[in-house]
Structure 1
Amino acid sequence: MKSNKSLMRKAHFLGTKIRNLRKRNRLTMEDLSARCIKIDPESAPSVSYLSMIERGKRVPSEEVLSLIASIFQKDIKWFLDDVPEEDAITPNKGSKGGINGMALEPNFLFSNDILQIAIPEMLSQTGTSGRQFAHLLIRAHQEHNQNHFPDLERAAEEVGLKRLPLSLEDIIAITKNMGLKIKWFHKTPQSALDGVGIDTQSVVTSFFEPPNQININQLMKNQPHRLKYDLAVHIGHCVLHDKNGLRNVLVAGRNEISPLQDPTVQSQSSNVDPHDILHAWRDFECSFFAGALLCPKVPFRQLLDRNGYEIGSGQIAGVSESVAMRRMTAVSPYPHWHYFDAYAPGKLKAVYRGNGIPLPWGNMRLVQDPCQHWAVFRMINAPLEGTSSQISILNVGDEPRIYSCESIKVQDFAGNNHVLCAGIDLNPAINAQGNDALSLANDLKQACVKNGGSSSIPKAIKSDLMSIAKILNINWVERGIDNEARLICSRGAVCPRTPSCYEPCTV
């Protein structure tokens, strides 16, 4: 290297590589700075300078880079763009949820100014509204934290005192103690509908009217579980946001359809309005608060443990299947969960992927080649009652993973059928018992391939999976093991079945 200017032109991934190397070696920035000082006190970077290097705000001198390279036993050229090495530049999520993503480098292309220009253009070209994008940001935040929000849990526990179950009378008493009034309505006022973006398959169940009135659809009198949830959401709105006057409109049904899903729906603005972000965040906070109020973490976890994580545990807690299944993902000591709320055709209304499972369908647009072998979608098209358990094998990247899930078909308040699905990634549990999850998953995958896409689980694999099911104490994992395992894919273009379910996708 002849100059720092020459280095700058080759250092777009340098900061990410240093950060990932440091974290893989379990070094803090203080540790790395100290190691550098030990070798060369004069050239050693400070902690603040290291931070700027890792964030792409500074390009180190040749001396500093040589120092860091010697600590990690790397050739100095390894840190430059010519040797990208994807493992070195892809952020490692560690114990966090969500899917590993691309490194946001070079830094100057991912600056706030550039993103503020590019994002509205991207949304406009894809037909994504600002409101949808806001909810996507919130979901990514939720998945990154694997549904761990202790401040919201504590706020709910202070109100509900960790009682389980809370009766409708208990919830009404809490609303009255907070100075809130309940008023029933027959027809939704137009003022509550304006700007909500709902379709004809949706119904407004309740809305908050400042300063202290909760308006509730009279049809909710026959839906005590839903009524409790709505009241809990409005209580959360008041506790967390101090009745600040924002309209808090709750809607049941398949609402917020994208223009790409239904051409009769007028396109919403692609501008990312600050209020879209604020409303999405408050929607999430109030919803999470409501679940924590109705199913406090420790008592609900104990209830699930006693009942083997059966969906019917929600009835004991006095909540709907949806609330029970979403709370499973938050209170379980096992963190690798996913949850889908699916409507036909091709609509995921709610999504949570703390285990990084790829999306089979979208919640913003229809896909051309959806895999129909996912349990959640098989149940949509089947006249089944009760629940359905399934063991699935899915390639994530180039690695096969084993998933187990439980699905149930329900009807929403607006009368629409939809399917709820809660599932877990079994690979981490298999590895935790000292077994090779990838080898086991590949063996199960090959058994399914030989049988056209599904297969009874071989005896040896079944024994290993049964042990995992008992350790996790989840009954539906055991039931799924007794059924055939199924190959699934994220898109038909990568269908692992022979023959393939779809022709190669050209879209």
Structure 2
Amino acid sequence: MSLSKSLIRQSHFLGTKIRNLRKRNHLTMEDLSARCIRVNPEYAPSVSYLSMIERGKRVPSIDMLEVIAEVFQKDPAWFLDDEPAQQDITPDKGNRGGISGMALEPSFLFSKEILQIAIPEMLSQTGITGRQFAHLLIRAHQESHQNHFPDLERAAEEIGLKRLNLSTQDLMDIARSMGLTIRWVSEAPKDVVDELGVNAKQVVTSFFEPPGSIYLNELLKEYPTRLKYDLAVYVGHCVLHSKEGLKGVLSVGHANTWEENPHEAPCAELNSKHILQAWRDFESSFFAGALLCPKVPFRQLLDRNGYEIDVHQKAGVSPSVAMRRMTVVSPYPHWHYFDAYGQNKLKAVYRGNGIPLPWGNMRKVQNPCQHWAVFRRLSEPQVGSTAQISILHVANEPRIYCCESVNVTDPAGNHRVLCAGIDLNPAIDAQGGHSATIAQELKALCVANDGSAVIPRNIQKELTTIAKILNINWVERGIHSPAQMICPTGAVCSRMAQE
């Protein structure tokens, strides 16, 4: 088919390719239009017409496409669908968030009307509940913003007055000042079997009954940090939403892989209530963390203690709350956090540094890589925390991560592993180092030594400098242990890859 006949039928990626080429060359639309005018003023696109081309609203003529192709030194046929050139048509999201970008082309298939029809059908066919999908949307939003929600921080600071280590009585007083009544009930953990056939324990820690009664499980008297968290969540709902849509039940160890109400039947139907309720729950949970660990005081505490996990004791919160807040308050933005009950079962995920998931969360992965720190701690529980330097392929290049992991037991009696970590590549580059070269060298050493290797002294020295600049003690500890080569799953083992 000639170029003239194929241009309209094969131009689905054309606008995306032009837009991403322009941005990757740091050109504004005005810049590109001006360069096109210098090539051929007769067929050069105006800024407004170029905008319509990039948005898929117009298809350029062959002559105009040839002018644009000349600017970028490419054959005009390259812009058509026959040569997708994925690295150039995929939106460049950098290293923000754990969700990979994709070209939403042909654009007409991603219209609001089509998506509103297709998404519920997709959920129904895949068995994903509406609430699970809502949590995925929220997680992508959270990761794209790298946990930056200043309005929620301010709302919590106005209530807690930036006080760190609020007591249980402090939280009860705040709740009562909101017109909430606190009562106690007794409910023991129950044995449950999740959707993957895994035995677990579940316990309702608290629940709410309108118009303003909080019922706390007597069990929480033995877990004051969880008690404070539950109270802080209810306070958050009152402050942010005036109790509207207040979540009826808070629990731990429930059978579902994602945050679900254990007394609510799973539903594949997607409606606005699912999205709104999930968003309100997220906001209230984030508020609770900000109330218990206000940003500036908690950051100062972390700085004084080198981001050690046991700082949670000084803050009067659980390790989970402390580690999640680390990802928020740290001036270094490239963090991840996993809260794992076992293989295929993540309670909480945050990937502001783009790290892949170690396994699927809504369906079973048969061959997960066993060299992730969370797997090591799940299979061999240890006292205290451990640090690990890992090499992992992301977007076809090796990256250096360091994480700190700790074993905990929740109020229901379930064993969990909490893992917080950072991507070291941006920190290395910021200090004038060459992270890609260091990562390649570490990868080669790991591959040559069955997937694990002692970090050479020259790299130890460079990483130690980074650890001291970041003021994260466990990064420095991880440097003195062997680096591990890990993969997203065990299907294609990077440890065996000879490149």
> Normalized against structure 1, the TM-score is what?
0.88
Assess, with a 3 A threshold, how the Cα gap between structure 1 residues 64 and 183 changes in structure 2: closer, same or farther: farther
Give SS of 2:124's match.
Answer: helix
| Runs of 5+ unmatched residues, structure 1 | 189-198, 259-264, 501-507
1:346, 1:214 → 2: CA distance? 33
Contact 2:128 2:268 in 1 (8 A): yes
1:271-350 mapped onto 2 (5 Å cutoff): 271-350=269-348
1:180 equivalent in alignment to 2:180: yes
2:236, 2:184 → 1: CA distance? 20
| 2:159 matched residue in structure 1 | 159
Contact 1:36 1:44 in 2 (8 A): yes
| 1:398 matched residue in structure 2 | 396
Give SS of 1:124's match.
Answer: helix
Q: Deviations over 1:161-190 (max 9, x none)?
A: 2222222222222222222221222249xx
Contact 1:210 1:245 in 2 (8 A): no
Give SS of 1:408's match.
Answer: strand
Shift of 1:73: 5.2
How many matched pairs?
483
1:9, 1:498 → 2: CA distance? 43
1:375, 1:3 → 2: CA distance? 53
1:97-108 mapped onto 2 (5 Å cutoff): 97-108=97-108
1:428 equivalent in alignment to 2:429: no
Give SS of 1:8's match.
Answer: coil
1:239-250 mapped onto 2 (5 Å cutoff): 239-250=239-250
Give SS of 2:349's match.
Answer: strand
2:448, 2:35 → 1: CA distance? 54
1:90-489 mapped onto 2 (5 Å cutoff): 90-94=90-94, 96-187=96-187, 201-257=201-257, 268-489=266-487
One-letter amino acid of the structure 2 residue matched with residue 159 of structure 1: I
1:254, 1:430 → 2: CA distance? 41
416-425 or 344-353: which moved more? 344-353
| 2:84 matched residue in structure 1 | 84
2:204, 2:28 → 1: CA distance? 50
Give SS of 1:96's match.
Answer: coil
1:493, 1:402 → 2: CA distance? 21
Shift of 1:477: 0.6
One-letter amino acid of the structure 2 residue matched with residue 396 of structure 1: V
1:52, 1:351 → 2: CA distance? 38
Assess, with a 3 A threshold, how the Cα gap between structure 1 residues 184 and 345 changes in structure 2: closer, same or farther: same
7-16 or 302-311: which moved more? 7-16
Give SS of 2:154's match.
Answer: helix
238-247 or 85-94: which moved more? 238-247
| 2:194 matched residue in structure 1 | none
| 1:193 matched residue in structure 2 | none
Q: Deviations over 1:79-106 (max 9, x none)?
A: 3223322221011113532243221111
Assess, with a 3 A threshold, how the Cα gap between structure 1 residues 31 and 173 changes in structure 2: closer, same or farther: farther
1:292, 1:216 → 2: CA distance? 21
Shift of 1:386: 0.6
Contact 1:127 1:267 in 2 (8 A): no
1:211, 1:66 → 2: CA distance? 67
> Normalized against structure 2, the TM-score is what?
0.89
Q: Deviations over 1:9-42 (max 9, x none)?
A: 1210122122223322334456656777898599
Assess, with a 3 A threshold, how the Cα gap between structure 1 residues 253 and 70 changes in structure 2: closer, same or farther: same
Task: Please report the RMSD computed on the Cα atoms of aligned residues, expressed in angstroms.
Answer: 2.8
Assess, with a 3 A threshold, how the Cα gap between structure 1 residues 238 and 70 changes in structure 2: closer, same or farther: farther
Q: Deviations over 1:434-460 (max 9, x none)?
A: 222121111111212222121211111
Shift of 1:251: 1.2
Give SS of 2:166's match.
Answer: coil
Assess, with a 3 A threshold, how the Cα gap between structure 1 residues 307 and 395 changes in structure 2: closer, same or farther: same
Q: Deviations over 1:46-69 (max 9, x none)?
A: 54x544433323334456545654
Contact 2:96 2:354 in 1 (8 A): no
Contact 1:202 1:251 in 2 (8 A): yes
2:47, 2:444 → 1: CA distance? 52
| 1:45 matched residue in structure 2 | 46
2:248, 2:58 → 1: CA distance? 45
1:213, 1:30 → 2: CA distance? 60
Assess, with a 3 A threshold, how the Cα gap between structure 1 residues 284 and 229 changes in structure 2: closer, same or farther: same
355-364 or 200-209: which moved more? 200-209
| Runs of 5+ unmatched residues, structure 2 | 189-198
Q: Percent identity, aligned pairs only?
A: 67
1:248, 1:267 → 2: CA distance? 14
